Amino acid sequence: MNDYELLDSGNGAKLERFGDLILARPCAQAVWQKQRPTLWKRADASFDREEGNHWHGRNRLPKEWAIDVDGTKFRLSGTDFGHLGIFPEQRAQWAWIKDLVRAAKAKKRPVRVLNLFAYSGGSTLAAAHGGAEVCHVDASKGMVQWARNNATLNQLEAHPIRWIIDDVHKFMNRELRRGRKYDGIILDPPTYGRGGNGETYKIERDLTETLRLCRALLSDDPLFLLLSAHTPGHTPIVLENILTQALRGLGGSFSAGEMCLTGAEDVFKLPSGAYVRWTHE
């Protein structure tokens, strides 16, 4: 089942379906013209940043609602920043994580996964659905609770998932001191983020150190590392170069590309960030 669909994009905006609701939101990448301008009249609500962040028709949105994306359920809500609690451009990454973990589990190998900057838990749920033990880390207490609610929605509340509210670097350093290792690591660092205790994260300043810690936390027989970013300028080649340097000497293979929002075949794909995948085998 798939309750998400990109319906159209253009003129600096995107039109998406989330279950039965159609929403229009800003999108700087959509510099072309709208393909289906009349379809936008069907939007239940829209969001803009022209005079500060503002929803139009927010009263037509439920306080929260659930959708199913490729077999994983997500609870959505219209936030003050225009986010809904899901990044559908990660769908291909979620499928890749689940398939990779499931194949490893089929070979009777245990898989422990670390998900950093984990947001509402899409990658955590994918790894858990594949059978991995997961550690979910995010600095936002509210987002960690949102992710826990998503796990419950997917009947994964009893699955071995550690829910950690902490600054990523502080947590990673503690894990190193404890001698804990991970077979797979997932990270989607923000362009700029702020922790609950005033810590700041800037991708251009801190990503190299994050990846150094990631390498130190990989097990002796690692399975994968997945890095994605929504930062302008951090293209697939840029991410692949950074990760290649960080994992130099470990062998394995790399693949990189654009993350895209997608809909019907005749709807333009909408680039929404970049990724690089590394697998040890």
Instruction: State which residues form the domain around 14.
Output: 4-76
Say if residues 139 and 200 touch (Cβ distance below 8 Å).
no
Q: Which of 30, 47, 76 is the last residue of a domain?
A: 76
Helices (H), 141-276: 141-153, 168-178, 203-217, 236-246
Q: Are residues 275 and 173 in the same domain?
A: yes
Q: Are residues 167 and 215 in the same domain?
A: yes
Q: Does residue 81 lie within any of the structural domains?
A: no
Q: Does residue 83 lie within any of the structural domains?
A: no
Mean pLDDT, the chain, whole residue set: 96
78: left (phi over 0), alpha (psi -120 to 50) or beta: beta
**pLDDT range class, residue 1, cuts 50, 70, 90:** low
**pLDDT tens-digit profile of 183-219?**
999 999 999 988 767 788 999 999 999 999 999 999 9
**pLDDT tens-digit profile of 215-242?**
999 999 999 999 999 999 999 999 999 9
Q: Are residues 231 and 104 in the same domain?
A: yes
Q: Does residue 16 lie within any of the structural domains?
A: yes
- Residue percentage of the chain with pLDDT more than 70: 99
Say if residues 75 and 146 touch (Cβ distance below 8 Å).
yes
Domain count of the chain? Answer: 2
Residue 15 sits in a domain whose CATH number is 2.60.40.1180
| pLDDT above 90 (res 149) | yes
Residue 93 sits in a domain whose CATH number is 3.40.50.150
Q: Does residue 232 lie within any of the structural domains?
A: yes
Q: Are residues 204 and 260 in the same domain?
A: yes
The pLDDT value recorded for residue 53 is: 82
Q: Are residues 229 and 208 in the same domain?
A: yes
| pLDDT above 90 (res 59) | no
Whole-number Å distance between alpha carbons of 76 and 127 = 20
Q: Does residue 169 lie within any of the structural domains?
A: yes
Q: Which of 25, 49, 76 is the last residue of a domain?
A: 76
**pLDDT tens-digit profile of 254-263?**
999 999 999 9
Q: Does residue 142 lie within any of the structural domains?
A: yes
Whole-number Å distance between alpha carbons of 218 and 216 = 6
Say if residues 98 and 224 touch (Cβ distance below 8 Å).
no
Q: Are residues 21 and 142 in the same domain?
A: no
The pLDDT value recorded for residue 171 is: 97
Beta strands in the chain (DSSP E): 4-10, 13-18, 21-26, 45-48, 54-56, 65-69, 72-76, 112-116, 133-138, 161-165, 184-187, 192-194, 200-202, 224-229, 253-261, 270-279
Closest CA to 69 of 118, 5, 14: 5
Supply the pTM of this predicted model: 0.95
Average pLDDT of span 10-27: 97
